Amino acid sequence: MTIQLHDTLQGKKVPFEPQIDGEVTMYLCGPTVYNYAHIGNARPAVVFDLLARLLRRSYKLTFARNITDVDDKINAASVETGKPIDEITARYIKAYNDDMGALGVLPPDVEPRATHHIAEMVAMIEKLIEKGFAYEAAGHVLFDVSSNENYGALSKRDLREMIAGARVEVAPYKKAAHDFVLWKPSTPELPGWDSPWGVGRPGWHIECSAMAEKHLGTTIDIHAGGRDLVFPHHENEMAQSCCAHDGAPFARYWLHNGFLSMDQTKMSKSLGNVLLVHDLIKTVPGEVIRLALLSAHYKQPLDWSAETLESARRMLDRLYGAVQGIKVSAAAIAAAEVPADLIAALEDDLNSPKAMAAFFGLAKELNKAEGDKKLALAAQMYASGELLGVLGNDPDRWFAGHVEGDLSSEDIEAIVEQRNTAKKAGDYAAADAFRDQLLEAGVTIQDGREGTSWRRS
C-alpha cells in the first residue's frame, strides 16, 4: 500500500508520492530555544519522528528540523536573566536534544540554526524585493501580501475578509496591516547583522524558507509542524518561498499535529500551564511519555492527565511482559518482519493508536505461542518496537524499575562533566572509563558542537 497522508493544503487524505522516486525531503519547524520544551512541544517531535522512521523503511529520507536561535523571546530571556544570548541558546539546544533523545526521538539528518543562515535569508529577501513581492520601509523589509494572489490558500483565509476584519494598529511603515516582516532593524544591544537595509535581524518566517531551500531544495516533499503554525507561520513561509521561486510549489504535503492540552486548556508557555519534558523524565521513563504522546492520532487533540501516563505504562508492561524471558538475537530482530497490519495502520496517515492495537495483537499471539514460533514472534515484537521507538529496554530491568538506568539525570550530568574534565586534561583512559560507566548504565553519549549530549538507550 502506498502511504496516505492528510495534506492541510488540499484539506484531505491523499496518496503520498515524493517528487523524486525513492527519495523524500521533510522539514519540521523546530524549537525556539529560550526555555525547556514542554510535552506539547514534544508532540510534533515525537509524531514526526515516527513518520521519519516509517519513511526510512522505503525511502532515502533527508529530514531537517531547525533551531530558531534568533527571536525576540530569546532577547527578552537574555535581558531577564542577564545571561548572554549564546549561552541561553546553547543551553536550551542541548536540553532540547537530550530531552527529545529521552523520548526516543532520533536526531534529524540536518539541524540548521537560523543564525548560521543569515546570508541565505538576506539573499532570499533581496530576490523578493527584486521580483516586486517585498518592499523596504524605515529600515524594515516587508512582504507585500497583496502581491501574492494565492495568499490564504493554506489556512483557508480570504485576504479581503482579513483586511475588512483587521482591527490591529497598523505600523506607519506598512502598506497594509497584513504585510509581514522579513527583516527589521536592530539597536546595538540587540543581535544584528549587516544587510543592504542596515544592521538588523530576520523575521521568524523567512528563517524557515531560507533553511528549507538551502538544505532540501526549492520544493520539499513534506512540511510539518503543530497546527498553530498553519497561520501565520506556514502561510507566510509558503508565500515567501513560492514567490522567490517563481511560483514553484514550496511543499507537496503539509502535515499538522493537533494540540496537547491539560484539563482541556491548551498547554503553552505563555499560559504558564506547562509540564516540562526535562522534569517529567526524572520520574517517568521516556518510553512511557512517548507512548502516551502516540496514544492519540497525531491530528486529534490530546488531553494530558495522570491517566494518560498510567495507561501508557500499563501498555508497556503488557508489551515487556510478552517478551520477558525470551532471548532473541540482534540478527533475528534485524531479519524479522514488522506485521503487515501494524505497517498498514502507520501508512494510513500515521494511525498510531491502530498501530498500537496491532502491536498488542502480536503480543497476545506471542503469549500463546510455543517453541520456534515464540522466538519468531518475539523477534517481530522487537522489530515493531524499533519502528515505533519503544521496547528498547531489557524486560527484566523494566520490571525492576531500572529502565532509566540506575543513574539519575543529575548523576549522568556529573559523570559527563567528569569525563569532559578528564578529556581536557589529556587523561583519555579516565575519560573512556567514565564513558564505559555510562554505557553500562544504558546511557550513550555523543560529542557535538554544542557540547556533549546523552541519552538512555
Residues of this chain that bind ligand AMP (CB under 6 A): 29, 31-32, 40-41, 43-44, 225-226, 228-229, 257, 259-260, 266-268
Cα separation, 442 vs 457, in Å, equals 5
Cα separation, 107 vs 104, in Å, equals 9
Part of the chain binding Zn ion (CB under 5 A), chosen from 182-190, 205-213, 350-358, 397-405: 205-213
Binding at 70: pick from Zn ion, ligand AMP, none (beta carbon under 5-8 Å per type) = none
Examine residue 29 and tell whether it contacts Zn ion (CB under 5 A): yes
Nearer to ligand AMP, 44 or 442 (CB): 44
Pick one of 154, 208, 222, 390: the residue that binds Zn ion (CB under 5 A).
Answer: 208
Residue 264: CB atoms within 10 Å: 7
Cα separation, 386 vs 4, in Å, equals 22
Binding at 226: pick from ligand AMP, Zn ion, none (beta carbon under 5-8 Å per type) = ligand AMP
The least distance separating ligand AMP from the CB of residue 64, rounded to whole angstroms, comes to: 14
Three cell numbers written together for 378: 518475539
Nearer to ligand AMP, 103 or 229 (CB): 229
The CA-atom distances, in angstroms, between 453 and each of 66, 94, 142 are 18, 7, 39
Residue 211 in contact with residue 223, Cβ under 8 Å? no
Cα separation, 439 vs 368, in Å, equals 35
Residue 286 in contact with residue 45, Cβ under 8 Å? no
Find the residue with minimal CB distance to ligand AMP.
Answer: 226
Binding at 31: pick from ligand AMP, Zn ion, none (beta carbon under 5-8 Å per type) = ligand AMP
Residue 127 in contact with residue 244, Cβ under 8 Å? yes
Binding at 40: pick from ligand AMP, Zn ion, none (beta carbon under 5-8 Å per type) = ligand AMP
Binding at 208: pick from ligand AMP, Zn ion, none (beta carbon under 5-8 Å per type) = Zn ion
Binding at 259: pick from Zn ion, ligand AMP, none (beta carbon under 5-8 Å per type) = ligand AMP
The least distance separating Zn ion from the CB of residue 401, rounded to whole angstroms, comes to: 40
Nearer to ligand AMP, 154 or 243 (CB): 154
Nearer to ligand AMP, 193 or 231 (CB): 231
The least distance separating ligand AMP from the CB of residue 242, rounded to whole angstroms, comes to: 21
Give the binding-site size for Zn ion (rule: CB under 5 A): 2
Residue 329: CB atoms within 10 Å: 10
Grid-cell match 491517566, residue found: 307
- Whether the CA torsion 290, 261, 30, 64 is positive or negative: it is positive
Peptide bond into 232 cis (omega under 30): yes
Part of the chain binding Zn ion (CB under 5 A), chosen from 203-211, 357-365, 422-430, 445-453: 203-211
Q: Angle, to 10 degrees, between the axis of helix 85-102 and the axis of helix 39-58?
A: 60
Give the interface with Zn ion as residue ranges (CB under 5 A).
29, 208
